[in-house]
């Protein structure tokens, strides 16, 4: 494993990955934020994100460009897939000459699950009026842009062995609530990459996988207390993430349903109900009492059901396991951003970031994997890790890996 805590800011000396540094400068400019276009009310969701992206991810983006352009240097007809490019396709849209040179007659595939973003990225790129991009056939020095509206959980939008490089910068954490989700996406990346193809992942340097561990514990506790199988439906991400967890009670065939809703509330359903009359199950009050003895706090019982928050701030393990790292991460993100944002944008930024932080504290939307988990699974998925590089500004990390032969 190669680990480097510095950004790509100096010469390649001592950098075992061989990737040179310093060609792309971290971008912190936020001047194309059109302040007059909208009221302060809708500035936050519509306009502040591109500004934040520039303010906080300049270094992450500079590292990404170094790595991808080095890997693709000198080739022709190369195909790059960007997963979750966002409506402004940062940082590529700000370096279109380099993009044209590196792709050089090949495809730039932009995959995003958000339809509006897909539409906007086309408008945004067309607005750049660059002869380096085309939506038709690409000639030398050009990239053919292909926009794919597709959720990565349904696969990467490319043929097997067709890509020279894939970039996933601050996108994959939205789609990886569980470590298994990460494993599936990495396996898919391997499927669509050519031999020696490059995978760049840029992510937050933080562990936000606590909700998976909490759910595993809850499933085990409820199963032990009720003596039933557990069927888990996780609806936090809008789509049904169904897992049937059978914990040694196969013979009974009885089940309790655990449903996690979009607000991060857990519902235990069918508590105390039994298919067979000769078996008596603990009712919802008895189950809640037993859960309380195991440390669960805020619970409401009603009609064979128990409701509780997935992440309970009053539970020390939840607090230490999720709230503390989330707060530390957003404090670092805020410090990096506020330094680079104009004072008049600070309020909109705080509004946007506090919504994101509040989602993350409830185990919603943000599921950053800790570096140890990403590194381990990259290797297990058949990648050779070339570089793991932490940013100096803000809590981010660039992972650089290539597809191996096995």
Ligand X SMILES: C[S@@+](CC[C@H](N)C(=O)[O-])C[C@H]1O[C@@H](n2cnc3c(N)ncnc32)[C@H](O)[C@@H]1O
- Which residues of the shown chain bind ligand X in the complex (CB under 6 A)? 53, 57, 84-86, 90, 112-114, 117, 151-153, 169-171, 174-175
According to DSSP, the β-strands at 255-260 and 305-309 are: unpaired
- Identify which of residues 84 and 309 has a Cβ nearer to ligand X in the complex: 84
* 8 A C-beta contact, residue 287 and residue 306: yes
- Identify which of residues 174 and 304 has a Cβ nearer to ligand X in the complex: 174
CB of 190 to ligand X, least distance (A): 18
CB of 197 to ligand X, least distance (A): 19
CB of 53 to ligand X, least distance (A): 4
- Answer left, alpha or beta for residue 31, where phi above 0 means left and psi between -120 and 50 means alpha: alpha
- Identify which of residues 49 and 249 has a Cβ nearer to ligand X in the complex: 49
Give me the residue whose beta carbon is nearest to ligand X.
84
* 8 A C-beta contact, residue 232 and residue 243: yes
The three-class DSSP label of residue 44 is helix
- Identify which of residues 36 and 115 has a Cβ nearer to ligand X in the complex: 115
Expressed in percent and rounded to 5, the helix, strand and coil fractions of the chain are 40, 20, 40
DSSP 8-class letter at 79? -
DSSP character string of 191-251: HHEEEEEEEEEEEESS---HHHHHHHHHHHHHHHHHTSEEEEEE-TTSS-EEEEE--S-TT
* 8 A C-beta contact, residue 229 and residue 244: yes
CB of 192 to ligand X, least distance (A): 14
- Identify which of residues 6 and 153 has a Cβ nearer to ligand X in the complex: 153
Q: Exposed/middle/buried for 327, CB within 10 Å: 0-12, 13-18, 19+? A: middle
- Identify which of residues 151 and 289 has a Cβ nearer to ligand X in the complex: 151
Q: Is the peptide bond before 91 cis (omega within 30 degrees of 0)?
A: yes
- Identify which of residues 107 and 312 has a Cβ nearer to ligand X in the complex: 107
CB of 155 to ligand X, least distance (A): 10
């Amino acid at each position: 494993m190669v680990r480097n805590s510095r950004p790509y800011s100096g010469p390649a000396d001592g950098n075992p990955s061989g990737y040179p540094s310093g060609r792309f400068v971290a971008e912190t400019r936020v001047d194309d934020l059109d302040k007059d276009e909208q009221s302060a009310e809708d500035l936050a969701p519509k306009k502040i994100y591109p500004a934040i992206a520039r303010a906080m991810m300049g270094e992450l983006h500079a590292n990404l460009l170094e790595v991808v352009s080095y890997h693709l240097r000198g080739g022709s007809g190369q195909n790059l897939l960007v997963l979750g490019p966002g409506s402004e396709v940062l940082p590529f849209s700000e370096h279109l000459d380099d993009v044209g040179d590196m792709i050089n007659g090949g495809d730039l595939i932009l995959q995003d699950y958000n339809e509006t973003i897909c539409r906007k990225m086309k408008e945004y790129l067309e607005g750049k009026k660059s002869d380096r991009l085309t939506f038709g056939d690409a000639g030398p020095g050009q990239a053919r842009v292909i926009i794919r509206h597709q959720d990565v959980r349904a696969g990467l939008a490319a043929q097997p062995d067709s890509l020279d490089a894939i970039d996933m910068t601050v996108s994959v954490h939205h789609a990886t609530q569980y470590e298994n989700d990460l494993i599936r996406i990495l396996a898919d990346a391997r499927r669509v990459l050519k031999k020696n193809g490059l995978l760049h992942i840029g992510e937050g340097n933080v562990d936000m996988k606590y909700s998976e561990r909490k759910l595993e514990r809850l499933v085990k506790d409820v199963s032990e207390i009720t003596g039933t199988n557990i069927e888990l439906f996780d609806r936090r991400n809008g789509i049904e993430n169904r897992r049937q967890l059978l914990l040694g009670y196969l013979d009974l065939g009885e089940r309790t349903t655990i449903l996690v809703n979009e607000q991060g509330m857990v519902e235990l359903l069918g508590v105390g109900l039994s298919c067979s009359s000769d078996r008596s199950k603990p009712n919802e009050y008895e189950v809640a009492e037993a859960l309380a003895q195991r440390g669960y706090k805020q619970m409401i019982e009603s009609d064979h059901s128990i409701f509780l928050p997935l992440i309970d701030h009053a539970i020390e393990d939840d607090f230490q396991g999720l709230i503390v790292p989330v707060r530390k991460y957003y404090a670092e993100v805020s410090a990096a951003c506020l330094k680079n944002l104009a004072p008049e944008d600070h309020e909109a930024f705080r509004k946007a970031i506090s919504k994101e932080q509040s989602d993350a504290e409830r185990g919603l939307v943000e599921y950053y994997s800790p570096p140890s988990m990403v590194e381990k699974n990259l290797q297990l998925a058949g990648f050779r890790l070339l570089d793991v590089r932490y940013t100096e500004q803000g809590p981010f990390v660039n992972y650089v890996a290539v597809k191996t032969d096995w």
